[in-house]
Structure 1
Amino acid sequence: MSFRQKMTRPAHRIKRTALVVAALTAAACAPSEGPTSSAVAAGPVPSAPHAVDRSDGFAVREAERVFSYAFDAITDRYIDGVTARGVAVEGLRGLGSIDPAVAVEVEGGRAEIRTPAGLLASVAAPADDDARGWARAVTELIAGARGTSPQLAAAGREDIYEAVFDATLAKLDMFSRYAGAEEARDHRASRNGFGGIGIRYVKNEDGLLVKDVFEDAPSDGLLFVDDVIVGVAGTPTVDLETKQIKDLLRGPIDSSVTLSVKRTGIDQPVQVPIRRALVVPRTVTLTLDHDVAVIKISSFNQRTASGVDTAVRQARAGLGASLRGIVLDLRGNPGGLLDQAVAVSDLFLTDGPIVSTRGRHPESRQAYAAREDDVAAGLPVVVLVDGRSASSAEIVTAALQDRGRAVVVGTTSYGKGTVQTVVRLPNDGELTLTWSRFHSPSGYALHGLGVMPALCTATADSAPQVAEAPGTAHEDDDAVVPVTHSDVPAAGEDAGRTVEKLIASRAAAAGSVPTQYAQWRSTPIEDTEGRKRLRTACPPVNHADSTVDLAVGERLIEDRGLYSWALGLTHGADTAAR
């Protein structure tokens, strides 16, 4: 069974040790995509089951194909070895979420679905490793049980897929999951872009108030800030739900949509035809704070690396020799595409390792190295992280810290150190499967541990919030890098005192720092409790709104001696940025 790994490779330099690459997220992943056609080789199509298609929404031929494809993928690609029998039986137990009376038994060579009232369906149990056989068995059992269980009979096919796959994947790990066709389309749009018009809007009592129109987007020059979109393709927007609006605004690339727009100074709405184009959600913003470039990365999609590259070059062009350094703000960043994390790291490194991934499947074992130029030309770099910085954000942070290229400030990161591959199913849904763990350049596994900052600000604010599992936000805009200028210093008088106390406290404890980092990088992944204890030294809290983190970062960049000292805390006092 083979899958096509779809990877967006940036124009600048990524060196790989194999042709196939996985992608990761904390809650979103890169695709191993292919529709249920010849675009994906999934082996022969399974033979039709004995049951016939039902007219009430559960098509057994489609279901068997979906289950077969999914069971094959799980047993082939999941990071730990699992059997088709275990996958199938756990999935059947998920039917209890639809009909709580349902119970599954596998014994004496038979697989059965029962309720207290009696036997609903029974089939011969296939061999433990027969994914196709178990797909057929699951389909026949569900079809048979639907003839007796009113709840199962009333359930649509997607309800059944969700019940089966949610139960199966929940047993594996918290990052493996199923998305139905509609949700999967949203995920693909977030990762890869979609046909859209390139605006940001809010819904009000009149319709859609345009808050921003992005440069070079389809709406540029056709729509303006404070326009109100009162109709899309002839449909009034005032009573539409968010999803309905999104569906109307989006469409195939190069297709057209006509908007009815109320505009200041014009009595009647004007009709504005717009041709849709590829819109990739923006993930990068640049703020020039005096002589420091603050680059916020909200997640990693196919244009993140190019967005960071553009932001650094804009900052260097705008400030010239007065640019003193760069702050990469990864707080709250839940992750995204692995190749983009590698590419962002590579922007600031000229050679050497970035990250390696290790898993059961041969294609999951990869190593990535940097090459060529440092886009920042050796300027100081500070990375801000918090307890919601996960996966791809942690790859960048660990790579720049381990290589001595950046000082990390904030709280311990989330500790989501696994890589997921996304498998597109015949029903157009997707399975997200954990298939490898990533390791920093110094060799430690980040899963369950995260990255420890050189300067911990976890207790610097009065009421930090404990970080929860990262999520993924979706925006209807493109990858333009907006530039803003701050006229107010980030560090006020109170923040300035906090920064000085923080630095003085860390300096006083500097003698113990090498031991801390040696333990951090050497505690094995099997020592779950030991790794948890290490994280308590700098708790992984939510610091997305902390002013202290940025104040510390800018203070380090302003003082080169202080920056070198902080760099030496985690990478040796004589380390030079490279």
Structure 2
Amino acid sequence: MKRRRFPAIILRPVSMGGEAAVIWRRRMSTLGHIPRDTFILLLVIARLTTAAYADDAPATPRTPTPAPPLHEDSMEQPDGPGMDLAVLSSVIQASLAFLQPRTLDSHTIHDFALWGLNGLSALDPSLSIDEQHGFLQLVATQRTVMALPLPAPDDLPGWSAAITHVLDMAWHHSPAMRDTGQDGVLQGFFDELFNHLDPYSRYIAPGAAVSDRSTRTGGEASAGLTLGLDHDAIIITAVNANGPAWPTSLAAGQIVRAINGRPTASRSLDTVSSWLNGANGSLVRITVESKGRQTTVTLHRASTPPETVFAYTSGKHVILHITAFSANTAEEMSQYLDEAMNVPGISGLIIDLRGNRGGVLQQAVTTSALMLDHGVAAITQGRDPQANHVWAVQGGDMTNGLPIIVMVDGRTASAAEILAAALSDQKRGVVIGSATLGKGLVQTIGQLPNGGELFVTWSRVLAPLGWPLQGLGVMPQVCTSLGESEMERQLQNLAEGTADSRDWVMAARQTRYPVDPSHILGIRKACPAAIGTDSDLDAAHSLLDNPVEYRAALSTIPDEGGVPASGG
């Protein structure tokens, strides 16, 4: 098959103030398969993610020497282990160093420290923190048990030492703290700190962080197969298109007879599934039976990101359901789009983003590049210079201008909203459904010395025409959340060249940050957020089957530069 050049993404730094039918698989003999090495990604990034990777981990912190307290009550130390102060200190200092330059709004280290320490009272109501006459005080049962001179507002080593000392003293005074454990104390500290920021910044403890990283990157190396039971036989139920088994002859429905020579008879499903896992790059031999014939396939195990794109055909239309944006989503999309263009008589593409909660920002932008010849896909703004970018794409529309419908609902969020906004603002697709969630904040991830992670919101996302996704979300050009009769009326008006959505779409595109929440609510009530239904697909088919409707819906989007700004 002819190689396709994957479109490029160019990051331009900017100076900014302040009836779905048969499941369609890429392995269908009529469509063929693009080898993984034909996927070429030319992506220049600045270590920016949405709820996924970030490379800018803090520098290895200096371990501060705790300052001596001005006053400590004498007490007996409790039996049992204390906290690991070296680890505690390094985590605190690394966290504060990572947070201060990146949060959307500027805060001093003093602010972060006091917010976090106030979380002690959530672990033990008898504990509290007070500031008086230049001293930081730990109060237990209304009695001051420790006082330290307040460090300067942005004294990183000083505040790290002070926090470590306070937490250690609280640990020795409070059985509740000791019962919580060191991980629980850190969780309480960060939970209270992030309560003062935004809903998406958070601390992930080491155990959960390992699980999150495994989900993002594919986790333990495996064969990329899902197994199930058919009566007493263990069979292959799915082959992950991102995994090592995909290019082989292994397929759903085959009976698994042995793994590395070990028979599967009388073995549990969990046991046989575990045999497929192992060290990255290690060999695994899988013996399967199909139509009475046994074959053995040998492959190298590999970390396998979950599949996120699923394809269907529905008449003359291809439906691509994107469930999330993980490390391989754009690659999956490129392969499906290439094959979609070989489907005889295809007249339209439907991208289903309903229920998609987002994922990696770069993957959303790269996916948009597959359907855009050129132009801006998104803009990000933050205090950290590395957070400020125009995400521009060029290189070629793989669909050659095929009409596109994007289905969204009230659960569509984050990276999914970025893709919907990019295709809509560039007049490359028509959005159908309801107002989306409105999650337009980008997180960067910091790896901590204890194995935990910080997700810190560091930029806002603007759509190509300059309006904010945060709070507002993407307003559809055809609304299906107002009921069946209202949707039919909209479609009839579109067939006559009139778009009922023009006012609310224009109001959304005119919005500029900062914006009053009441203004956002006024826009969103025109097409309230709702869970998607079959009406979305009915409307999508109607627009693709009727070019007049499609063009009328596209016309609701103003040209670039033709949107007067309004802050509400």
- Decide: shared fold, TM above 0.5: yes
For residues 478-511 of structure 1, what are the alpha-carbon distances to aligned partners after superposition, in whole Å with 9 as ceiling and x for unaligned?
xxxxxxxxxxxxxxxxxxx886444126678947
Asked if the contact 1:57–1:156 (Cα under 8 Å) also holds between the matched residues in 2, the reply is no
Q: How does 1:340-351 map to 2 (within 5 A)?
A: 340-351=363-374
Distance 1:211 1:164 in 2: 45
Q: Could you say which residue in structure 2 is the equivalent of 1:93?
A: 118
CA displacement at 1:335 relative to structure 2: 0.8
For residues 437-466 of structure 1, what are the alpha-carbon distances to aligned partners after superposition, in whole Å with 9 as ceiling and x for unaligned?
1111111111110111110001336xxxxx
For residues 344-395 of structure 1, what are the alpha-carbon distances to aligned partners after superposition, in whole Å with 9 as ceiling and x for unaligned?
1111111121111111111111001121211110110110011111111111
Letter in 2 for 1:427: N
Q: Could you say which residue in structure 2 is the equivalent of 1:13?
A: 8
Q: Could you say which residue in structure 1 is the equivalent of 2:510?
A: 522
CA displacement at 1:515 relative to structure 2: 3.5
Comparing 62-71 with 272-281, greater Cα deviation is found at 272-281
Q: Could you say which residue in structure 1 is the equivalent of 2:348?
A: 325
Confirm or deny that 1:115 pairs with 2:136.
no
Letter in 2 for 1:325: G
CA displacement at 1:206 relative to structure 2: 8.9
State which of 200, 206, 213 in structure 1 corresponds to 2:226: 200
Confirm or deny that 1:444 pairs with 2:467.
yes
Distance 1:68 1:216, change over 3 A: closer
Distance 1:567 1:100, change over 3 A: same
Q: Could you say which residue in structure 2 is the equivalent of 1:483?
A: none
Asked if the contact 1:22–1:338 (Cα under 8 Å) also holds between the matched residues in 2, the reply is no
Distance 1:248 1:64 in 2: 41
SS in 2 for 1:541: coil
Q: Could you say which residue in structure 1 is the equivalent of 2:555?
A: 568
State which of 205, 208, 213 in structure 1 corresponds to 2:239: 213
Asked if the contact 2:229–2:269 (Cα under 8 Å) also holds between the matched residues in 1, the reply is no
State which of 190, 197, 201 in structure 2 corresponds to 1:165: 190
Q: Could you say which residue in structure 2 is the equivalent of 1:306?
A: 331
Comparing 396-405 with 500-509, greater Cα deviation is found at 500-509
Q: Could you say which residue in structure 1 is the equivalent of 2:395?
A: 372
SS in 1 for 2:136: strand
CA displacement at 1:254 relative to structure 2: 2.0
Letter in 1 for 2:468: A
Distance 2:505 2:95 in 1: 41
Distance 1:374 1:337 in 2: 21
Distance 1:537 1:223, change over 3 A: closer
TM-score in terms of structure 1 length: 0.78
For residues 181-200 of structure 1, what are the alpha-carbon distances to aligned partners after superposition, in whole Å with 9 as ceiling and x for unaligned?
12112222222223233123
Q: Could you say which residue in structure 1 is the equivalent of 2:531?
A: 542
Q: Could you say which residue in structure 1 is the equivalent of 2:281?
A: 254
CA displacement at 1:202 relative to structure 2: 6.1
- Listed as ranges, the gaps of 5+ residues in structure 2 are 14-43, 69-76, 563-568
Q: Could you say which residue in structure 1 is the equivalent of 2:59?
A: 42
Asked if the contact 2:430–2:554 (Cα under 8 Å) also holds between the matched residues in 1, the reply is yes
Distance 1:559 1:501 in 2: 15
Distance 1:43 1:179, change over 3 A: closer
Comparing 132-141 with 562-571, greater Cα deviation is found at 562-571
Confirm or deny that 1:280 pairs with 2:302.
no
CA displacement at 1:58 relative to structure 2: 2.1
Q: How does 1:361-510 map to 2 (within 5 A)?
A: 361-460=384-483, 500-504=488-492, 510=498
Distance 2:538 2:273 in 1: 38
SS in 2 for 1:196: coil
State which of 537, 542, 555 in structure 2 corresponds to 1:555: 542
CA displacement at 1:161 relative to structure 2: 1.5
Q: Could you say which residue in structure 2 is the equivalent of 1:30?
A: 52
Asked if the contact 1:205–1:238 (Cα under 8 Å) also holds between the matched residues in 2, the reply is no
- Listed as ranges, the gaps of 5+ residues in structure 1 are 1-9, 35-39, 462-496
Distance 1:386 1:417, change over 3 A: same
Distance 2:382 2:134 in 1: 33
SS in 1 for 2:507: helix
Distance 1:67 1:329 in 2: 42
Q: Could you say which residue in structure 1 is the equivalent of 2:17?
A: none
Asked if the contact 2:381–2:388 (Cα under 8 Å) also holds between the matched residues in 1, the reply is yes
For residues 89-137 of structure 1, what are the alpha-carbon distances to aligned partners after superposition, in whole Å with 9 as ceiling and x for unaligned?
1111212332222211122222222221633433222111123321211
CA displacement at 1:207 relative to structure 2: 11
Letter in 1 for 2:222: G
CA displacement at 1:49 relative to structure 2: 3.6
CA displacement at 1:514 relative to structure 2: 3.8
For residues 118-171 of structure 1, what are the alpha-carbon distances to aligned partners after superposition, in whole Å with 9 as ceiling and x for unaligned?
334332221111233212111111111111211112332211121111111122
Confirm or deny that 1:335 pairs with 2:358.
yes
Please report the RMSD computed on the Cα atoms of aligned residues, expressed in angstroms: 3.7
Distance 1:299 1:197, change over 3 A: same
SS in 2 for 1:288: strand
Asked if the contact 1:455–1:506 (Cα under 8 Å) also holds between the matched residues in 2, the reply is no
Confirm or deny that 1:358 pairs with 2:381.
yes
CA displacement at 1:513 relative to structure 2: 4.3
Letter in 1 for 2:59: A
Greater C-alpha radius of gyration? 2
Letter in 1 for 2:444: T
Distance 1:571 1:177 in 2: 37
CA displacement at 1:217 relative to structure 2: 3.6
Asked if the contact 1:24–1:391 (Cα under 8 Å) also holds between the matched residues in 2, the reply is no
Distance 1:528 1:147 in 2: 46
Letter in 1 for 2:237: K
Matched residues, number? 509
Comparing 526-535 with 274-283, greater Cα deviation is found at 274-283
CA displacement at 1:303 relative to structure 2: 1.1
SS in 1 for 2:101: helix
Letter in 2 for 1:254: G
Distance 1:508 1:134 in 2: 67
Distance 1:156 1:249, change over 3 A: farther
Distance 1:196 1:142, change over 3 A: same
SS in 1 for 2:340: helix
Q: Could you say which residue in structure 1 is the equivalent of 2:83?
A: 58
SS in 2 for 1:333: coil
Distance 1:237 1:361, change over 3 A: farther
Distance 1:203 1:96, change over 3 A: farther
